[in-house]
Amino acid sequence: MPAGAPPSIRRINDKYDKVFVNGCLEPQVNGPRANAAFVVLARNKELEGVIQSIKSIERHFNRWFHYPYVFLNDGDFNSTFKETVLNHTSGPVEWGKIGPDMWGYPDWVDKAVAKEGIQKQGDAAIMYGGMESYHHMCRFYSGFFYKHELLQKYKWYWRLEPEIKYFCDITYDPFIHMEREGKTYGFTIAVKELKETVPNIFRYASAYKRMNNLTSKGLWEMFVEKPKEEPKELPKDDPKYKKPLPEEILNSEPGTGSLPDIDLEAMEGEKYNMCHFWSNFEIARLDWFRSKEYNDFFEMMDRSGGFWMERWGDAPIHSLAAGALLGPKDIHYFRDFGYRHTTIQHCPANAPARQLQRIPWLETTTLDEKKRIEEDEYWASPDPPKENGVGCRCK
């Protein structure tokens, strides 16, 4: 935090989640490296977008740090793809194939039912809903990537996608800093999911939380819609009042491939606000994904059939798992990373005010409008602190 930062920023960062290093420093290239890799899932046809992403991460980070890359594909990477990637990467590269055990329909699913579900989502013009491969991709990133043999040796991962752009030099090692601060999961953008892709996701996520008697560590609330008015109390004899967990969930037969019709929403009185960490950027501990708790969560979500009968993305899956299992102190908001993917970007120049409104647990009542403006001016100054010639421009 540069000395010139306004007091309100300093206070927020002290109270919630310090930016590890802010402003522009000489890249810290001589420190120890973490046991970490970039993970890129891609197809041959995405080569151009992949190279764009690699150029960007190399220019702004990896030319100093030389972290390895793991490329994954359900098909085979061709030689053009491999050679071109090798011409642009400054760290070791490994090529991994994803087998049918991690991609596509598991044996227990009724394929005909699943395919019909996907077709219906296509007919309903749900974004990517009719695209079978997209469903496979989301399920892979939800419950399998961290089990891939090439990732076993790593403790941390940083997800890269085709067609992403970093705007700012990242002159410190985010893995090392996350490790030092005891962080588990890092994000840079939180957005709202398209409702029609996840109509039942929250019912299952809350059921998981209740079945395992998990009490919120303070992050779950980030995903719960705040009631507009005082919730009406249900009369005690209303059947919806404290209904025990539905039999359908407790005794559900795996492999039906369809969602049981349950009304957990009414029972819980909690509604998903559609907020999620946008997972095309993610820096996280792989051992959290590998934990029994995360895998139980994935298994329950998976067995519900929601990856086929709906179009659950890996982003809300990761986010709701974090909500159920982690607390705010485990999460790091990389507000200092300039990042863009397709149409959505995070620019540090306008981060605090905008992101504070989006992320309830970063909200603070002491932050009045005047301070917000003060912050905006600080972050939006045309020349943010530019000490050793490296800097950040959100263009």
Q: Which residues pair with 7 in a beta bridge?
A: none
- Residue 303: partners with Cβ closer than 8 Å, 6 or more residues away: 108, 252, 254, 255
Q: Which residues pair with 156 in a beta bridge?
A: 36, 285
Applying CB under 6 A, the site for ligand GDP has a residue count of 12
* Active-site residue, selected from the candidate residues 46, 193, 282, 375: 282
When CB distances to Mn ion are compared, the closest residue is 161
| CB distance 159 to 281 below 8 Å | yes
**Closest CB to ligand GDP among residues 106, 385:** 106
Q: Confirm or reject binding of residue 212 to ligand GDP (CB under 6 A).
A: no
Alpha carbon distance 371, 8 (integer Å): 6
**Closest CB to ligand GDP among residues 40, 205:** 40
Per-residue binding string, ligand GDP, 50-89, x by CB under 6 A, is -----------------------xx---------------
**Closest CB to ligand GDP among residues 118, 267:** 118
Radius of gyration of the chain (CA): 22
Q: Which stretch binds ligand GDP (CB under 6 A): 131-139, 201-209, 253-261, 271-279?
A: 131-139
Q: Confirm or reject binding of residue 168 to ligand GDP (CB under 6 A).
A: no
Q: Which amino acid would we find at residue 22?
A: N
Q: Which of residues 135-154 bind ligand GDP (CB under 6 A)?
A: 137
CB of 38 to ligand GDP, least distance (A): 12
**Closest CB to ligand GDP among residues 22, 280:** 280
Per DSSP, helices labelled H in 5-95 are 7-15, 47-57, 63-65, 79-88
CB of 201 to ligand GDP, least distance (A): 16
Token pair 């522009």 in the structure block, residue? 24
**Closest CB to Mn ion among residues 161, 310:** 161
Alpha carbon distance 338, 336 (integer Å): 6
Alpha carbon distance 118, 132 (integer Å): 7
Closest by CA to 382, choosing from 366, 390, 393, is: 393
Token pair 């970063």 in the structure block, residue? 362
Q: Which amino acid would we find at residue 176?
A: I
Q: Which of residues 33-52 bind ligand GDP (CB under 6 A)?
A: 41-43, 46
Alpha carbon distance 354, 90 (integer Å): 35
When CB distances to ligand GDP are compared, the closest residue is 133
DSSP state string for 173-204? -HHHHHHHTT--EEES-EEEPPGGG-TTHHHH
Q: Which of residues 155-184 bind Mn ion (CB under 5 A)?
A: 161
Q: Which stretch binds ligand GDP (CB under 6 A): 109-117, 133-141, 243-251, 387-395?
A: 133-141
Is 282 noted as a catalytic residue in this protein?
yes
In this structure, the number of other CB atoms found within 10 A of the CB of residue 168 comes to 21
**Closest CB to ligand GDP among residues 42, 325:** 42
Closest by CA to 260, choosing from 271, 251, 249, is: 249
Q: Confirm or reject binding of residue 314 to ligand GDP (CB under 6 A).
A: no
Q: Confirm or reject binding of residue 161 to ligand GDP (CB under 6 A).
A: yes
Alpha carbon distance 2, 336 (integer Å): 13
**Closest CB to Mn ion among residues 164, 170:** 164
Q: Which does 46 bind (CB under 5 to 8 A by kind): ligand GDP, Mn ion, none?
A: ligand GDP
Number of residues that this document lists for the chain: 395
Q: Which does 42 bind (CB under 5 to 8 A by kind): Mn ion, ligand GDP, none?
A: ligand GDP
Q: Confirm or reject binding of residue 280 to ligand GDP (CB under 6 A).
A: yes
Q: By the criterion CB under 5 A, which residues form the site for Mn ion?
A: 161
Q: By the criterion CB under 6 A, which residues form the site for ligand GDP?
A: 41-43, 46, 73-74, 133-134, 137, 161-162, 280
The catalytic residues are 282
